[in-house]
A and B are shown apart, each in its own frame.
Chain A
Amino acid sequence: MKLDSKIPAGPVNEKWDLHKNCIKLVSPANKRKYTIIIVGTGLAGASAAASLGELGYNVKAYFIHDTSRRAHSIAAQGGINAAKNYPNDGDTIWRLFVDTVKGGDFRAREANVYRLAQVSGAIIDQCVAQGVPFAREYGGLLANRSFGGAQVSRTFYARGQTGQQLLLGAYSAMMRQVDAGRVKLFPRREMLDLVVVNGKARGIITRNLINGDIEGHEAHAVLLCTGGYGNVYYLSTNAKNSNATAVWRCYKRGAAFSNPCFTQIHPTCIPQSGDYQSKLTLMSESLRNDGRVWAPKNKGDKRPPNEIPEDERDYYLERKYPSYGNLAPRDISSRSAKEVCDEGRGVGDTGFAVYLDFRDAIDRLGKEVIRQRYGNLFDMYQRITDENPYEVPMRIYPAVHYTMGGLWVDYNLMSTIPGLYVLGEANFSDHGANRLGASALMQGLADGYFVIPYTLGDYLASTELPKVATEDDAFNEATDNISQMTEKLLGINGDKTVLQFHRELGKIMWDNVGMARTKRSLELAIKQIKILREEFWQNLKLIGSDQELNKDLEYAGRLADYFELGELMAQDALLRKESCGGHFRKEYQTGDGEALRNDKEFAYVAAWEYKGEGKKPKLHKESLKFEAVKLAQRSYK
């Protein structure tokens, strides 16, 4: 395997335009002769399907949900970034680019990040034209807010439902293409394998989730837009159906997996309350614009928060990071909360929570203003916890939220398998070791609306793609593999449920491959995962058959992949002997407990190549060059 990032020559701010100038084009009459498979129709997939349909390609879209509008993107709350500089507060494309490279702790490709910043403005224009009801000022112009640690206001939003509105925009654009006959939808289909013919991605195998049929589908290229793998931790803010199966099976077919250990733990989630819990709920980061984070100064202080006097409170983010304060980036805020709780200063029944307090903001601005800004979030909090955040500070704790790692892609978003493209959270490309708030929505839509329509054509126009049929050997082989795996899962007949196994795996991952990692914890995780995986294959209990709707069977297949992915995450974390962004190795920190990067040895993208069942995967390195932004230690003090 050779990694060729295909970064165009030229200064960083001209690369994309230069590249577009020399990209090959598919003539309008020929486009409809190409069939493109899109797997996953969240922001990335739906925007790609709409754009490619408009260009005239013949698009087939597959997804797990009953309708595309339910993809996990729907749950994004806070907003989407764009360097529009509408508020006149000094924002530029360059600044958004620099913030994103720095925020990613210098582990992303400069060229990709620049392009992302460059197309960000057009995304907003596109969404407005689609009828997305963004928040507006009294004068009728678009409103912006500052979000997730940015010092300019560049975040566009639609109440606390930005992801929903952007996804509905992309969904409606895609539905228009369905109406036009250029996009065909395949709902309730789960991709279980990639079909590679003569070294190129030429199709997929899906399971029809209603009747269990295993179906082959052929195409000239495959676009994977299947989202992130945070659910490997069991508890996360991801939706229940978010999974790693599509990317993992592609990895096993030869697509390199990059930086699997880079996961983002979001600082403001509602803490876990019991073992039965099925997921964690995010409280939008925008709350940190007005809420102050604190914990008691004294260990084991069990007094109700409002009885703890001012001088016995530790506003630890404001104390440690005076210039960013409560808006310090996610990785830093999360780790600080963990430290406070590990010291025994955590609050609530479990001791794994800190306060997010609106008392001062309510005194300063009045309850009404706070209600206008965060009313729906306060209601949501109260519904879940039965506590009133206008009167008692919220309790929050970090939770797994996003995965920066994903399949390796070149500048054109193509994986190491020719013809297999990866878009959105499923790829590794733009966020390095830590993603900034409101940048995932931006990336998903950038990939789908403004990158893939150009780069896909270049491949199709320059590649020989002889006809394939679903009767071919490659399809049969893949189908057989899947049937065998299903049979094996259903035949185990043990006595532990999928959920029990997933909870146990999640605990191993959270304790050992979570917010703070050590050589010891990672080695332990690898050992424990192996043992649990063996038990899984001997003691799993499933009910029902594969010829019907069987959600437990779907779940079991996904969990089987998580075991393998979890191990690779731990291996990747073990090898990366530095701390950067969301990857914090306790052995590598500065005197005052900040992440200590090692640019000399680790300024690279890790890309893992699958070498077969039971064999050690092979590490490839794509070294990262920083020409436009100078390598420097992040400082939010």
Chain B
Amino acid sequence: MKLNLRIWRQKGPNDRGSFKNYTVEANEHMSFLEMLDFLNEDLIVKGEEPVEFDSDCREGICGSCGMVIDGVAHGPWQGAATCQVHMRHYREGETITIEPFRAKGFPVIKDLVVDRSAFDRIMIAGGYISVNTGAPPDGNTIPIPQDKAERAMDFAACIGCGACVAACPNSSASLFTGAKIAQFALLPQGETERKRRARRMIDQMEKEGFGDCSNYAECEAVCPKEISIEAIARMRREYLKAVF
């Protein structure tokens, strides 16, 4: 099937960037990224610069890929990262607009590649439990009720892709930060440092230029792991407990 693509091209962080139009002869079994590979092959053979984008696992778990497809982070299929979108969802002759994740906290590096290192810095501020490698107690010393462990896992499933930020009108990183805080708040292991963790991670999030959460819930709608905004409510509770 023949598709029209409007793709954001930007040579570097200081370039203004603009959309360019392409056509590609795709096949319905291709994944979205394979369609872009295919386009790039064509561009290279013609002597044009290929479109740069990040990807690695191509199965929705590493969080590398990420683009805004027709105005929606990761495209219009719920619970899927860009690499999990398949071309069978498109029709002959359709036009697809492809842009990078846009946010103050995620400067563009080139084309569709953005700098998400702010997420790492939020984690450095407190996204851990302070145990040294050595001889921790036996894994079964502290039982954790199954439903609690499962709930913690729901939040731990975050792949750090940044779609939540890209989708939020305020470019807030609350779902990302909240998911980690919520995971640890649900586990006995996270108890000791819960106040310090909430305070430091949230402070860092603000320092990175991410906005506040105004409950639009756009983040939850695009999250490839369908993480609930309950994470943000939990984060707020943790923060209040930490500062008062």
Contact = CB atoms under 8 A, between A and B. Distances in A.
A241 interface: yes
Nearest to A241: B56
B133 A54 contact: yes
Interface in B52-72: 52, 54-64
Nearest to A135: B149
B123 interface: yes
Interface in A257-313: 273-274, 276-279, 281
A276 B64 contact: no
Interface stretch (B97-105, B140-148, B205-213, B236-244): B140-148
A173 interface: yes
Interface string B123-148: 11111111111011111100111100
Nearest to A498: B44
Interface in A511-561: 541-544, 548-549, 551-552
A128 interface: yes
B81 to A, nearest CB: 11
B110 A548 contact: yes
Given A75-B59, A175-B120, A129 B136 contact: yes
Interface string B1-43: 0000000000110000000000000010111011001101101
A461 interface: no
A499 B33 CA distance: 14
A126 interface: yes
A165 B156 contact: yes
A199 interface: no
Contacts of A75: 57, 59, 61-62
Contacts of A142: 139-140
A549 B128 contact: no
A135 B127 CA distance: 21
Interface in A322-373: none
**Dominant SS at the B interface?**
loop
Chain B interface residue bracket vs A: 35 or more
Nearest to A495: B45
Given A137-B146, A549-B110, A161 B124 contact: no
Interface in A171-218: 171-173, 175-176, 178-179, 185, 187, 210
Contact of B135 (A67, A122, A543, A548): A122
B139 to A, nearest CB: 4
B59 A386 contact: no
B94 interface: no
Given A241-B56, A276-B34, A278-B31, A136 B144 contact: yes
Contacts of B27: 274, 276
A630 interface: no
Interface in B141-195: 143-146, 149-150, 152-153, 156-157, 159-160, 183-184, 187, 189-190
A610 interface: no
Contacts of B52: 549, 551
Contacts of A551: 50, 52
Given A130-B189, A133-B153, A543-B48, A125 B136 contact: yes
Nearest to B42: A497
A322 B238 CA distance: 55
B154 to A, nearest CB: 9
A541 B33 contact: no
B88 interface: yes
Contact of B133 (A126, A158, A383): A126
Interface string A44-70: 000100110010000000000111111
A131 B190 contact: yes
Contacts of A549: 52, 109-110, 113
A124 B183 contact: no
A67 B162 CA distance: 12
B58 A279 contact: yes
A16 B59 CA distance: 39
A57 to B, nearest CB: 13
A277 B44 CA distance: 18
Contact of B37 (A126, A273, A278): A278
B59 A138 contact: no
Contacts of A114: none
B243 to A, nearest CB: 20
B189 A67 contact: no
B234 interface: no
Chain B CB within 10 A, most for which of A70, A171, A552? A70
Contacts of A253: none
A165 B116 CA distance: 20
A130 B140 contact: no
B49 to A, nearest CB: 5
B146 A278 contact: no
A208 to B, nearest CB: 12
B82 interface: no
B153 A140 contact: no
Contacts of A122: 135
Interface of A: 47, 50-51, 54, 65-70, 72, 74-75, 84, 86, 122, 124-131, 133-142, 158-159, 161, 164-165, 168, 171-173, 175-176, 178-179, 185, 187, 210, 239-241, 273-274, 276-279, 281, 380, 383-384, 386, 449-450, 453, 495, 497, 499-500, 541-544, 548-549, 551-552
Given A74-B57, A84-B139, 8 more contacts: A68-B120, A74-B159, A130-B131, A133-B183, A165-B156, A175-B128, A179-B125, A499-B41
16 contacts: A69-B160, A70-B62, A74-B159, A75-B62, A84-B139, A125-B135, A126-B131, A126-B136, A129-B131, A140-B144, A172-B128, A175-B124, A210-B109, A239-B56, A276-B27, A450-B133
Closest 6 pairs between A and B when the two form their complex, measured CB to CB:
A140-B143, A172-B128, A129-B136, A128-B139, A133-B153, A176-B128
